[in-house]
Amino acid sequence: MAWRITLGLTLLHLFLVVMGATQMDMKGFGYAGKVIAYYGAITGSGSHFDFFAPSVGSPMRAVFEVKNGEDQVTLEGLGETDRELALRVGNIVDAFRDEIDNEKRRRLLAVSWSKYILTRYPAAQQLKVKLEQYNLPSLKDFEQGEKPKWDSLYSATFIRKGN
């Protein structure tokens, strides 16, 4: 009897993995759909498995250029030293990329980041928030000497008003 329950739960889980891979939105199925979506988020069965796709997106990063009164520029990132923080920041950057066409949300996130960075640099007079994507050349272009590079997708400049 126990093996039938185990088999049934295993098959249910595999079914949910397939549903997650097909990107089916379970939230449209009422309360049961919400429970299934929650289960998928906890177990990973709701993952889209995009990392197996042949056209995996390029990595992105947020860069902050802090300029003080003497025109000294400091480049700042978020979370490069702490793995957990880097994962969280990566999720925020991905959310920013997902909203790249939504000017209002893009601006709100940039303002939020600017307030955070400007509190870390009280002498800063200006801050440039940049979202960059790492673009790899094709193998053919790489063989011809082209190098990978960070391309700017978004940039906003903030100027501190009075102290």
pLDDT digit string (tens) for 1-16? 888 889 888 888 788 7
Task: Kindly report the backbone phi and psi dihedral angles of residue 8, in degrees, each rounded to the nearest multiple of 5, phi listed first.
Answer: -60, -45
User: Residue 58 belongs to what H/E stretch?
Assistant: none
For residues 111 and 72, state if they share a domain. Answer: yes
pLDDT digit string (tens) for 57-85? 678 888 888 888 777 777 777 766 777 77
For residues 125, 121, 87 and 21, what is the CA-based torsion angle, rounded to 10 degrees?
A: -20
Q: Quick check: 119 and 103 in contact, CB under 8 A? A: no
pLDDT digit string (tens) for 81-133? 777 777 777 777 777 777 777 888 888 888 888 888 888 888 888 899 998 88
Q: Domain residues for 34?
A: 2-52
For residues 85 and 155, state if they share a domain. Answer: yes
Tally the domains of the chain.
Answer: 2
Going 25 to 26 to 30 to 34, the CA torsion angle's sign is negative
Closest Cα partner for 62 from 129, 139, 159, 135? 129
- Tally the C-alpha atoms within 13 A of residue 17's C-alpha that lie toward its C-beta: 9
For residues 80 and 6, state if they share a domain. Answer: no
Q: Quick check: 62 and 77 in contact, CB under 8 A? A: yes
Which whole number is the average pLDDT over 140-150? Answer: 91
Which whole number is the average pLDDT over 28-50? Answer: 74
Token pair in block for residue 9: 């739960």
